[in-house]
Structure 1
């Protein structure tokens, strides 16, 4: 309070100045009267009467120079006090300045000969010649910009006419009304200019503070983006180091086993293996129950902004919950209350939000579905709705740009493809050829879209129906996959290799591959790649040269049981990146929104945690033969849920198909050029050290 009283006079003065500037005359009178009654002093703010007095003096001097014909004094003051941005950029100012030059050029011609003109006296023709020369210089420099304007074009001949007074083109200039009219325009212009220049200090403070705040927000946002990028890079490095650590401990344990058997028999290896076991986490409290009936009602009938905040909060409940009982309880509550309306037959349902007119609502609904699909229980729930699958496929095709909405829809579909019934439905719906068409131009895709498209294509190509679908466009499929072999993003290599190996079991595709020189293309990568890649390529070449018939190669995959290994959770950090909405002052969001407005009766109960999936290891010597998702296969073991190894989603600028970085393809790996080769640039991500079937 003391600080306010100390500056009260100045603050009141700022208010008074603004009211005066904005011409709130009645308000100003009432304000001044009330301040006087209450004994509140009104200080004169900087730029008040002193500034007004200076402005009036400048205006009077300019008008006096105009009246007296003092050309030099007028234009010296004009250029000093009228901003150059206004003189050069405003059409009205340029037009007025042109006529002012005419005024001073013909000023002496309009005065009686021998009559005093201010402090000037018409002595001879020298004064007139000087003015005409000044006008001519103006026309050749700054005034040249108006030479193409019909209104001003005749005046460019004025300096060259012997007697302008008698010339019909300039008759208007010598009428008695022309100079007073020009003076009136000048006075109005100066009044506007100097009033605009006398900006109230209150407005200046607001503008400067707002601009500073905006710049600070932009800077902080940029720092946040860079921090997220670094975080994703470090996360991938961490997962790679952790995988190497696990492998090293495993090898060490085997060595210790051998030593124990030959030396003392002490169980040192048991202690080493124990270090691999995950530490028991502390007891985590369950989250409060929610009123799902009210939630779903607002998701269907609420405003778009409310829908977006609810979808965000529900997603955060899944993604930020602690892996284990807390997360499983959240998911169980969502499923038991049919949160996504997968079992609803109503025309208005939560599912319809995938087709909302609001881009934010569509994206946040896609993110929530993607979060569901990241968990085995969520996949089982979503898989029970054929309507959900159809809507996801429709949304995928309708999104005409590589948007975050399409990324999340694609991510959800890829994870759902771990389940065989959904694989069958996606193949039947033509998703294989859609993916091939999308992958034709990988430089127009974000890393996320590229990786999940390649992984989804491979999962579908593992099925006989998917292979047969590829056979319908064998040339295109083979060309797209061979181009992707040399892509700079090494994360897609396991999926590309797996898809190639799988479809080459079809004789017709093998014949097409041989005709296009596929073996030469593969051998380019065989020479240039790592030892691991070389082993993969060798298997693909062996498949390419196989002469086995179709019936001998194809497995009866349509009769196989559901894959046990798909029961894996992999929650991505990417799901919560680049949020589009931020709560305003007093607006609720996240868990606070849910527990304040939608708190339900406490129904949470403990749940027996399901048995984790067995880690089906792949040696890395063969292409992938089981469905995988990018978050789960990379390091050859189940990725811990609290340390996801998800694809990097940093997009190229604008996600547009503009100029991109040089593509790391082998220039020699083209048909007819088996001998040439070039170096491959390493991708930004950490390359997978082995292949696994963990899903």
Structure 2
């Protein structure tokens, strides 16, 4: 991603969530209130009226009781921005950000000059390092990048060394042939050298962080102390803040003021994290999850965060070698790997690692993250590889199974939708293959989950998936495709509901006369299908023209009949859903969405985790014992500890980018 934004720190750009006191921030939170009240009490006690008035005025104008400190936000942005340009090898952007953050006197100090020398060497060798990581030899044009480092050395001389003999090999770097093989300088291309440099860069950035005021330590123990476990004070403070925010939100809604959807998403994520610190909290579930009418996927069950936590340890696989094998052409694969494994067996092994019910869910989620972290399908490094796999009839089903599993995670969805060519091929397969064939099942599962993504929704609507879904749901005979099974109805209705959140999706539903189809399925015995149909109706009823058609078609009488039946059966979820629909059908006043605006502005799926569809992968796995899968991956075992350490470092960094959420 490498823009520096609040979203990189788990913060919504539109509405910044309030921080807790156990992270580096000075603003909002229970501790901030305590400090401000203590200062006010001190000033009042000594009859310092003018300072007290001035202090209260400044606190109000700066928003300390409502917003996180601009100091903390700026430090976080600076660190992430500079490190992002460092990782991307963007020399110019790094230089600009570095000079803005690091004071000139610090850059001119001996330590600053020595660090600059190492940074110049890093950027000069960046393209060579990338080629070496892919297992190739650098070409002449990559080696020419060292000319800029030679120019730097000629201008600065040896003044940068500052008595540090470990820097001396850098002066030979641009003057030796094949520096990555030369015994004196090849260390520069090692992962250890890169990690040490990155740590020193981050440490230099952290030095610019202003010291935490002493008053915070006087109030309670510093959060950076040895005991890093969350204190009860911090847990209760966050719960109190969430409750207070919930009351404010309800007050706004009661007054008819719209509330950003991101506020609910952020609060839900924070509450889920707090469950881990409250006795019995993991066993408590929000009932609102069961009936929410918004972007969603069919969920088989709800597991606690403890049971689904991602395993932090990687399997001993060389993922770069695995990527080269999967993304290679048949000729390249034969020349580089021989007959050690076949492509179908390797893809089946990957699918087995992702979905086999015999493996614990945390291990499967860890392997899933590794797939998109190390670009195993070549979406980033070889964009033609994944479309080619989807076009290959021998492995297309296995590839779709892998994509269906990847789409179970927010990070996997982002990975897949970044390949527009692959997304188009998947849509084509969904529309062209017979219903309930193995290809259809895998691609529908994947496409339904991808429909949680706004960018994917646009492409799916554009390529006619609304029309396809309405046709399948409304044609029980499935003319030309076969009769739709419960699976097709369940996942197809969920996908349609997500697409109907968009203005373009609503228009397509109107054009396809969705109302009769919805009325036919509203009383389906499957509660998941009913929920999806109700969610689609809820979106469409925001349109005046659809409300008029629904009134003429007798939807209100049908809803009241269903409501009465659900009440008698004690089906509280259906009762609430029907009540929502009746309110939309007969609004007291024109709502902001009546003109057909978007029902949601952002992806709201980052808290979705349902990697539990083992039955889908069972169609393709074959050997359930897992022995053949392990044998197929043997040629890709990591042979050195250096490879494992480098991968573990990258994996932890990827986990931080995709799953770290600050309370």
Which bracket does the TM-score occupy, shorter chain normalised? Answer: 0.3 to 0.5
TM-score, normalized by length of structure 2? Answer: 0.46
Could you say which structure has the larger radius of gyration?
A: 1
